Structure 1
Amino acid sequence: MFNTPMFSFRRTLFLRLIFTFLLILMPLIVLGVYLYQWSVHTAREDIAKTAASQTAFYLTDLENEIERIKLLQFGLLEDEDLNKLTLLWNRMGVIEKTDRINSLRNRLYLVQNSSMYIKEVSVYIHPIGRSISSVDGVNPLDEERYEAIRSVYGSRKTRIIEWRSGLYLSAAKPSGRPKGQPLFVVEIELDQQKLREALAQFNTYAGSGTLLVSETGGIRLASGSVASFLTEASSYIRGTRTAEDYDQAREFGGHRYYTVYAGSDKLNMAIYRFIPSEVIRKPLDKFYTWAWLFAAAALVIVALYAMSTYKFIHKPLLRLVKSFRRVEIGDLDQVITHASKDEFGYLYSRFNQMVANLRSLIDQAYRQKLLAQRAELKQLQSQINPHFLFNSLFMLSTMARRGDAERVEQFAIQLGEYFRFVTRSASDEIPLEQEIQHARTYTDIQLLRFSRRVRARFEDLPEEAAQAKVPRLIVQPIIENAFEHSLERKEEDGRIVVRFEIGDGEFRIVVEDNGEDLTEEKLSELSRALANRDEYAETTGMVNIHRRLTITFGEKGGVRVARSELGGLQVTLHFPWEGQADVPIADRG
């Protein structure tokens, strides 16, 4: 789009028309988005409530089953054979011991078979150092296991014990002595595989999964898809603190799931169901498709409206504004053609007539002034070359008389480079990079003559200014002036510095020396000469360069003088700078 400080896209009529049209469509789009989100939210809540109800029902059933198993366990505490084996072991004969052990094993086996969730029933009898199992029979007492699984005496809570990745219920027969060891402990190990199989009943949706987790997180029973992202799910559960945290879908294993939670304080366990987000969104696919079709239709309508508005209103206006802007910058060859005989056709015809009249009035004066400027520029340039040639030949003659063949050769090469630069092109303007290189060549020539008395320093030319077009021979004469009027008289420690500055909308080339002969009167005289606008005054030296810069760049170009911090003269060549390498000729004063 066409952007200028006076005409920006944000202010166009086109943008306002499009914005108004979108404002009309916006309520319909917002309503569609709201209906879709409301449908998704309602479907998710319904599924979540159903899943939570099913899970809570199963946990209640599991609590009742564990309570029943616990009652059977406490019934074993009163078993006659178990109590006699504990108290009368040393008085029994071998046959009686065997009969009572077999009778006790049968009882343990019956308890094991009374529930699908029981894997093994064991009795640990500490006084006789024996353990009796419904699976493994009679074995020596495992003290470590005994201490780990026994619970508080007489507890009838359904608390499940975790030990070595297993789930256990335990009940102990008190010995009657305070803080004494119980007579025996009845242990029931729960079957985790059966619990895992029971969890499968909740995987009613494709891709869903269920996870049963103990309070400490030591037991994690996964069913369905949860097995593939068990670690991620466990980390998520540990970091979740409130019920609201489960409202949003989360990504596990590359898929998004909604989580339904139900816990049991009696069992110290919780069940988490992971339902794929597709299950909730699938019934809304048709609505989703229609929503996309509506959005696509709205975009097509907006696009058609925007194209027609751009073609019939904005583009003709933009064309007219661009033509006005080109005329403003001096392009008077603008002609707008328009086939239709509408309002824009009339505006274009009046514009063409206006430009034709303007062109006929200023064309002759403009071209005559331009030719005069170029002729003056050629004349001013020609005044510099003879003076430098005389000085150069004099220096070469002096070195030849001294017999310094090496310096003569070096000087001749540099002098050749200098005159090749001067004569190889008739262009009025050259890149600044070439002008500075030419000035360096001239300075090197002078340093051959004053190498023991004068030092020179050139700062690096900024890359963005290397191709900026400037008049030829504007820096070297300033350096020549510094040598001729200041540095030639110094017996030692002469200094000349060339540096570059960018700021305040202009580019500056600063040449300064540490000469000692500059008085305030001379400095004032130089300033007055530069300020003199008399076109017929003598135009040599620094005034010459100031006139050339003014002709090329207008009033924003020229030369300024001041006293340098080094003590001598500081000459600043300046011209307008906006970060561009060239200045159009039509913009010059």
Structure 2
Amino acid sequence: MHKQPLGLNRRGFIRLLAITVAVVLVFYAIGLYLNHMGLQTLHGNMEALSERECSYIASQINLEVGNLITQCQELAADKELLRYVIAYPRLSAYQRIASISGLSDKLLRMKRSCDLLENAKILLPQIDRVISTEKSIYDTMDRSEYATFRQLVDGKLLRIAEHGDNLYVLCNPVTRGEPMFLISVCISPERLERRMRLLASENALDMTLYTPEGTVFFSAGTKNGLLSAGKEGSSLLGVQEESTFSAEAEIPLLHLTLRCVGTIADELQPLMRHRMWVCLLTALALVLLVIYLTYFRRYILQPLDTIADSLRQAGETGHFHIDRSDAGFDDLYAQFNSMMENLESLKAQVYEERLRAQQAEIRQLQMQINPHFFYNTLFMVYRMAQQDGNEDIARLSLNLSRYYRYITTIPEHDVPLRDEVNHIRQYLEIQGMRFSPRVRVHMNELPEEIAQENIPPLILQPVVENAFVHGVKNKQSGGVVEVSFIMEQDRFGVTVYDNGGTMDAENVRRLDERMRAGELAEGSALYNLYRRMELLYGDHYELKLESFADGLSVTILFPRTGR
């Protein structure tokens, strides 16, 4: 009796076709998912970059305006100006010319020192004259302009006001009655725009300044129609072919808000091409695999079906033997390994993106502090302390000013060890005055051989700060914080020791293990230092914790660069 064949031809083809389509769709989904993750990462990075760019421009403009205000106040207190306006009737013609020349030079120096300044004037109502930085440095005063400025000052010593198309910094020496003089500094929109363009790293950004009431002071760019779309900080506006991002930042001294708008159309093109190629290659793969399976069905499955029928018939007699071999799947294994290598390459790209994101986060943390207000305040405290003869307060304010100036002006790249050590010395002097006489601070001399070696900025301060916070802070007397230096042939280092005496050797060992295992809180200074050194130096550094009978020392060893 003859039985029906096993039907491997049809059943095997349908099964292989379903498996093939499923595998292709899985890899297609993976490709789309990675592409989508790339888009999200790009969007997030561009939003964060626009926020930092806008904040940086606004802070720099605010700082320059603050410096300009300080110069106006210094000019208002200038002895030569006061002598000129008070003793004018008694001055000879030569003395008047000399005073006018000196005051004109000071106005010109002020203009050269600030790119925002369009024109500076000293209006002298008592003699109906004006000294300015214009071609005619000494001319008859415009009474209408003077009256306008008096109205804008409104009895205040200092006022920043908008008049016409410009902003004016007005300095009035008295709050009542007719002033002896009035200082006017003009800031034009053109100079503001030019300065902001110089500060911006991306020239394609469109920028607008507007008042708290929503009035536009000036607007520059091609995307100004989008500038009115919300003022909630930063947003990403998708418009089919291009994505637009925006950010805002305040300029407190000018009472203005800066809004920046840009597009990431160019950055999106590679990802869009990648998505298109994923779709095209998936469709091409499906077509080729269907052709291949058709060939497979005709030249492999059909013969196998015939062989299976022959095997069934031969099995009835029990005199047929066949050995199974997987040699025909070698090409499939090779294709699979190739696919896995592609996946590993994509994973490496994702890891590199995350590493770059961590480096951007470090730069953002270094740029977060913006103590321009402290600069002016500390400068005033320093001047007042010097005038009163209080050297301790003068020294403290000077150290604080240098301390904040360093942490806000450091570059993104490495700095010489000498600069970092000077910064730590200022920090130690501040803490020494705070904890004196309970704690004594000491720093050894920095060897000249390693003074020019480069290290990351602000890498030593967390260790020194920990010596006070977790070491000698609660000691009633006899506290010691000491900073010393290590110089070897291949590397150099810094050791910070304190006699807080709160940890024994076993606790120090456990702390070191927890730090290296990543079990410390991410906000802790020691863990942040460890992660930063790992990212920057890999295996080419050393961070050591050592316990002593009365304290703890932390040593950081850096590789030498031969500088």
Larger radius of gyration: 1
TM range (shorter): 0.3 to 0.5
TM-score by length of 1: 0.39
TM-score by length of 2: 0.41
Higher relative contact order (CA 8 A, sep 6+): 2
